[in-house]
Structure 1
Amino acid sequence: MSKKWKHNILLIFPFVVFAAGTIFTAAFFLHTYWQIAFEHISALCETILANVPEAEPQLLAALKEYHSLTEEKLKGNDYLEKYGYRADDFCYDFSPDTVLFPILFFLVTACAFAAAIFLFRRKNRKRIADLTAYLEQVNIGAGGTLVQTQEDEYSHLQDEIYKTVTSLYQTREMAVAAKKNFAENLANIAHQLKTPITSAFLSLQLMEKEVPGTYAEQVRQQLKRLNRLEESLLMLSKIDAGTLPLKREKVDLYTVLNLASDNLNDLLRNNHITVDIPENGCIEFLGDLEWTMEALINLIKNCMEHSKPGGVVHCEYSGNPLYVEIRVWDDGAGFDKEDLPHLFDRFYRGRCAAPDGIGIGLALARSIFELQNGTITARNLQTGGACFEIRIYSH
């Protein structure tokens, strides 16, 4: 007999014993009721015949007629009440031994059933706890195995969990390897771009000296754009490879917002845009000042590009025990509904994107905040304008 069959038998046995005990107890009580009723009627007949011997034919006839009575005529019959008798007047000298054994048997059976259910549930809870602990270890990267020597109803589930975990490990390793290869390829492309861009800048300077022309400035702008693209690709490759150097030091939100704004002074002045940063006290988080400033520069620049001349880019910050929050918004027309789901996608350029943009700034900002245990979302304000919300969590 297999272990699984033994387990099933042990599981079913308490139910069988409990059902048998219940049936036996009911049958015993019914038999006891029949015996007591017979003894009482027999004693009544004996008393009648002892007092009136000649009434034996009438008594036998009455008993025969009593046997022919239906349940409807017997139920609720209170004929003796008019003579002052009650139901409990005929239940004297009732021996408790007649019901003690079935009651004890029923209690023992019920206790055995309850104990079996308790042990079964405790075993199930332990198996579930073991499987849960194993999955928790897998989720934190600790791995390990869960050894179960005996087969039970969870064995198949355990095997499937192991197969799924193994498959996920393999998929993860393949994804990590693919991401590493992508980051290396991206870095190689960026490095390969650097040399021809530098050469093109030098050639452009020589051309401007020998053959001045109106097209030189256009070429210079395109080369600058290529140079920004190369720098962004290098940064993306570092982020993907996990080699971007991020510090863990206290960063004051008011300070980093002002530094980001100061780096855009020339652009803001040329576009007649101002930045409003009200001071809200000293609120700090653990992160990297330089990279946080870089991300905020991209957000403020994006708001500036979508503001009308004379507009204002608003910045505010706050904090609580769980996270610090930064909000950056403008007074422009807001995001296009079709652009909202893709704003932070790499190389995505919306309908109203700046003509010299390459679609990397917002993606970089999101990556920088995520590396610092943060999140960033974008939405349109009800009063008009686009709004970025950043939360950097403490834990």
Structure 2
Amino acid sequence: MSEKWKQKILLIFPFAVLAAGMIFTATFFLHTYRQIAFEHTSALCETILANSPEAEPQLLAALKDYHSLTEQELRGNDYLEKYGYRVDDFCYDFPLDTVLFPILFFLVTACAFAAGIFLSRRKNRKRIADLTEYLEQVNIGAGGTLIQTKEDEYSHLQDEIYKTVTMLYQTRETAVAAKKNFAENLANIAHQLKTPITAAFLSLQLMEKEIPRAYAEQVKQQLKRLNRLEESLLMLSKIDAGTLPLKQEKVDLYTVLNLAADNLNDLLRKNHISVDIPENGCIEFWGDLEWTMEALINLIKNCMEHSKPSGVVHCDYSGNPLYAEIRIWDDGAGFDTEDLPHLFDRFYRGRCAIGDGIGIGLALARSIFELQNGTITACNLQNSGACFEIRIYSH
């Protein structure tokens, strides 16, 4: 017998037992009622004939007439009430075993029904728990298999789960391979750019005395931009390949914000922009100080470029048991509504972009924080101004 049939029997058995118990109890009570009615009628006839033996023919005729009465004619007959008899005066010595046995049988039947339901539900819960545990192991990357040799109602679900997980593994491996290949190609492009950029810088230095200074400066600026692009591409390739070296150490938010602002001192002074960083106490998270500072530099620089003349870039930080939070905002016009969904896309430059950036700074910042179990979002403040919110989670 297959496990599927066993499951069906286990499910049907409690209901069958309960139905059998109810039928048996009803049949038993009907038989008991008829037995008692027969015994009392016999006792009554015996008493009549003991007192009046000559009334036997009339008594037998009366019994025949009684048997010919229909249920409707018997129902509601209260003929004896005019002689002072009541219903309680009859069958007053009802035998206890007549009631006790059906009650016990009904209780046993109910217990069997409850036990069958309990066993069936426990088996179902165990199967669901096994499948859930298997999916949890898959989600954390532990893998493993769930062996079920006997077929039941969850076997089809289990097969579909295995098929889906196998397909997801294959898709993941394909995606990882494609990502690794893309990162390698990006790194190769970055390295290939390095050589002509360096050669162009050297050639420009040799030619500076022969060409006008204004032209030389334009070429130098474009070469510097290409050099920044090469460095950014190399960094992106390391992030995509998962080879960016990140330390795990305690990083103080106040310290890393000040270090980021100090690295922009010359640029801030040139644009007459100040940075406000309040001291809110020691709040730390586990991460990499250097790369976190690099990401914050990109965010502060973005706010500086979009601040009002002689404006202020505001920084704030806080912490709770779940995450450490950093907020950086400016007093400018804020982000364009159409730019908000694409701010952190690589090589995206907004409608109000300033300077000769290549649209990688915000994408790098997001990647760095995500590698440290963090998130970054951008929004517009109610009183105007653009705001970045970073949350770095403890777990």
Normalised by the size of structure 2, how large is the TM-score? 0.90
CA distance in 1, matches of 2:118, 2:145: 28
Structure 2 partner of 1:372: 372
Change (3 A) 1:185 1:86: farther
- Residues in 1 aligned to 2:385 and 2:51: alpha-carbon distance in whole angstroms: 112
Q: Provide the secondary structure at the position in 1 that maps to 2:114.
A: helix
The correspondence of residues 268-279 of structure 1 with structure 2, limited to 5 A, is 268-279=268-279
Report the secondary structure of 2:243's partner residue. Answer: coil
- Rounded to whole Å, the distance in 2 between the matches of 1:120 and 1:65 is 52
Equivalent pairs: percent with the same residue? 85
* Corresponding residue to 2:72 among 65, 69, 73: 69
1:335 equivalent in structure 2: 335
**Alignment match, 1:385:** 385
SS in 2 for 1:226: helix
The letter for the 2-side match of 1:116 is G
Q: Report Cα offsets for 1:208-257 as digits up to 9, x if no partner.
A: 21121533322222211111111110011111111111111121111111
1:55 shift after superposition:
7.4
Query: Relative to structure 2, which stretch is displaced further, 155-164 or 370-379?
Result: 155-164
Q: 1:8 deviation in Å?
A: 2.1
Judge conservation of contact 1:331–1:384 (CA < 8 Å) in 2: yes
Match of 1:28 in 2: 28
CA shift for structure 1 position 64: 7.3
- Which has the higher mean CA deviation after the structures are superposed, 176-185 or 144-153? 144-153
Where does residue 171 of structure 2 map in the other structure? 171
The residue number in structure 2 matching 1:302 is: 302
Q: Which residue does 2:162 correspond to in 1?
A: 162
The verdict on how the C-alpha distance between 1:83 and 1:364 changes in structure 2, with shifts beyond 3 A counting, is: farther
Question: Does the CA contact (< 8 Å) of 1:316 and 1:327 recur in 2?
Answer: yes
Query: Structure 2 CA distance, aligned partners of 1:311 and 1:358?
Result: 24
Q: Distance in 2 between matches of 1:78 and 1:366?
A: 94
Cα deviation, 1:9-56, whole Å, max 9, x if unaligned, reads 333223212212212212222332344345445655665676684975
Larger deviation, residues 306-315 vs 62-71:
62-71
CA contact (8 A) 1:344 1:366 kept: yes
CA distance in 2, matches of 1:138, 1:48: 88
Instruction: Determine if contact 1:49/1:55 at 8 Å carries over to the other structure.
Output: no
Aligned residue for 1:392, secondary structure, equals strand
Aligned to 1:235: 235
Q: C-alpha root-mean-square deviation of aligned residues, in Å?
A: 2.6
- Give the Cα–Cα distance (whole angstroms) in 2 for the partners of residues 204 and 262 of structure 1: 32
| Alpha carbons 1:314, 1:329 under 8 Å: kept | yes
Query: How many angstroms does 1:78 deviate by?
Result: 7.1
Distance in 1 of aligned mates of 2:290 and 2:246: 9
Distance 1:215 1:351 in 2: 28
Answer yes or no: is the 8 Å Cα contact 1:335–1:380 preserved in 2. Answer: yes
Partner of 1:219: 219
Residues in 2 aligned to 1:83 and 1:34: alpha-carbon distance in whole angstroms: 25
Query: Which piece of structure 1 moves more, 222-231 or 151-160?
Result: 151-160
**Secondary structure of the structure 1 residue equivalent to 2:285:** strand
SS in 2 for 1:69: helix
> Could you list the per-position Cα deviations for residues 247-294 of structure 1 after superposition, in whole angstroms to 9, with x for gaps in the alignment?
111211111111111111122122221111011111111211111110
Distance 1:336 1:86 in 2: 95
CA distance in 2, matches of 1:145, 1:377: 39
Separation (CA, whole Å) in 1 of partners of 2:81 and 2:217: 122
Judge which range, 53-62 or 193-202, deviates more. 53-62
What is the CA distance between 1:70 and its match in structure 2? 5.9
User: Relative to 1, partners in 2 of residues 1:15 and 1:277: Cα closer, same or farther, differing over 3 Å?
Assistant: same
Paired AA for residue 223 in structure 2: L
Q: Give the paired residue count.
A: 392
